[in-house]
Amino acid sequence: MRITMRQAREKVQQCEPFTANNVFAEVLDNGVYAVWSYGKHWPMFAKVGDQWFENSDKYSVTTSKQHGQCHPLCDTAKVGTAELQRVIR
């Protein structure tokens, strides 16, 4: 579903797939909910079971803004990009 970035946080909090500008989210075959910026090389958030994970690495001003707009506003485990990619797989 295509949405605006203003709607992104609500979709993330509900773990719903979406596409907005250069951000997208999906539920993977393994049941993980993942939120990506500009492609699968840059995960921002993932929910595995009841645990949220957050990418703690910085990339660009635009990605940082998207990160803030998509944050689920709950406790997250902060991990680097490579670790978050492993969590998602």
The per-residue pLDDT for 59 is 80
Contacts of 37 (CB under 8 A, 6+ apart): 22, 23, 43, 44, 59, 63, 66, 67
Whole-number Å distance between alpha carbons of 66 and 86: 22
The per-residue pLDDT for 58 is 86
Q: What is the CA radius of gyration of the chain?
A: 11
pLDDT-derived band at 1, boundaries 50, 70, 90: confident
38, two tokens: 């500009």
| Cβ atoms within 10 Å, residue 80 | 11
The per-residue pLDDT for 9 is 98
First to last CA, the chain: 23
The tens digit of pLDDT for each residue in 28-47 reads 999 999 999 999 999 999 99
The tens digit of pLDDT for each residue in 50-83 reads 999 999 998 889 999 999 999 999 999 999 999 9
